Amino acid sequence: MLIINLWTYQVGNYTGGQYEIIKVILEMNIKLFKRDQLKQLLYVLRDFDQDENLEELTQTIKDDVHKIWNEIPKPEDMKDVPACEVFRLHFYKMSHFKQ
């Protein structure tokens, strides 16, 4: 399991959202690991405010991971394999505490 620590305000931001790192991880996964078991990615969403929409945040992350997956080079036998068949995404929100 890979844990990705992310501030909620960085979701959707290529640099702040650590998408370059995610891209490298997805590429290395193809080279190093077999596809027989789902890899787990846990996104920890920090400073989550109750006014934010968790569903929108998680959908944005899912869409971005799928976009990155579709853009990276893959071997012939994985060209048509969707990201959801290789990775399972989990989300955990950490509330913002106001003093």
Per-residue pLDDT of 33-85, as tens digits, reads 777 788 899 999 998 888 888 899 999 999 999 999 999 999 888 889 899 99
Q: Is 64 helix (H, G, I), strand (E, B) or coil?
A: helix
pLDDT at 21: 85
Q: How many domains does the chain contain in total?
A: 1
Distance CA 28, CA 59 (A): 24
Residues spanned by the domain of 88: 2-95
> How many other CB atoms sit within 10 Å of the CB of residue 68?
19
pLDDT at 13: 81
Instruction: Say what the pTM is.
Output: 0.84
